[in-house]
């Protein structure tokens, strides 16, 4: 059996009782970074073996992990923060498990785009999650396509590229399009900046940007 277990975005209290119970029960925990996950497990006094599972090794280890699961091993897959599979590794292993009739169960829990979307003040009844925009190939084509999207759009972005992305969105979507940027959600320095694309771009251009970023943009 494979459990997909969401982990806190920042505040370690944002984990469910069931998630802690599952992490105590499984034989092996797959994680992105053992150093990051060790802090969470130590905080809750969970002593279980950790093994790396991330975007750089998932193609190599997925078959081996499936074999262990078929042999009866119970595993949990966690990421550094949030729900596995949402702009994080999980899909390949889940697909392989389904193919081999291995039971997969995903627990409900943290995902950064949900609080960012809900507190944005932008319509939430219909939205599309785009994750990280392509860095080069296909970026302009996608932006032209999304300029006509009438649903609210949600993106993930890095601090280094935030201003550039907001300025590009202003060019393709219009500088007056409403947006909201959420930074460091659930952490001590959480920040939610709302306004037009141009206003928010100017705001972040004038300061040093750090932390995890979620960008919410109104549809056309």
The pLDDT-based confidence of 19 (bands split at 50, 70, 90) is very high
191-200 average pLDDT score: 98
Q: What are the pLDDT digits (tens) for 132-154?
A: 999 988 999 999 999 999 999 99
Kindly report whether the global pTM for this prediction surpasses the value 0.75: yes
In three-state secondary structure terms, 45 is: coil
From first CA to last CA, the distance across the chain in angstroms is 43
Average pLDDT over the chain, rounded to an integer: 97
Token representation of residue 49 = 């073996």
What the chain holds in terms of domains, given with CATH numbers, is 2-106 (3.40.1010.10), 113-217 (3.30.950.10)
Cα distance between residue 14 and residue 77, in whole Å: 17
Q: Which residues are CB-neighbours of 218 under 8 A, at least 6 positions away?
A: 122, 123, 152, 153, 177, 178, 179
Lookup result for tokens 């975007």: 55
The pLDDT-based confidence of 53 (bands split at 50, 70, 90) is very high
Q: Region of 208 please: left (phi>0), alpha (psi -120 to 50) or beta.
A: beta
Element at 58 (helix H, strand E): helix 58-70
Q: What are the pLDDT digits (tens) for 81-108?
A: 999 999 999 999 999 999 999 999 999 9
């Amino acid at each position: 059996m494979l459990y997909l277990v969401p982990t806190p975005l920042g505040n370690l209290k944002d984990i469910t009782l069931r998630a802690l119970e599952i992490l105590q029960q499984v034989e092996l925990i797959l994680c992105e970074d053992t150093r990051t996950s060790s802090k969470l497990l130590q905080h809750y006094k969970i002593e279980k073996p950790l093994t790396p599972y991330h975007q750089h090794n998932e193609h190599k280890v997925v078959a081996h992990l499936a074999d262990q699961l078929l042999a009866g091993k119970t595993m949990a897959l966690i990421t550094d923060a949030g729900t596995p599979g949402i702009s994080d590794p999980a899909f390949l292993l889940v697909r392989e498990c389904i193919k081999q009739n291995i039971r997969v169960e995903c627990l409900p829990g943290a995902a950064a785009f949900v609080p960012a979307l809900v507190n944005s003040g932008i319509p939430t009844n219909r939205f599309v999650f785009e994750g990280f925009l392509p860095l080069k190939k296909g970026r302009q084509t996608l932006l032209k396509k999304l300029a006509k999207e009438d649903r609210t759009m949600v993106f993930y972005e890095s601090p280094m590229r935030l201003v550039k992305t907001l300025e590009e969105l202003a060019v393709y979507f219009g500088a007056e399009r409403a947006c909201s940027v959420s930074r460091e959600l659930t952490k001590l320095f959480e920040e939610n900046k709302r306004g037009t694309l141009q206003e928010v771009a100017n705001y972040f251009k004038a300061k040093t940007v750090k932390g995890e970023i979620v960008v919410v943009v109104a549809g056309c």
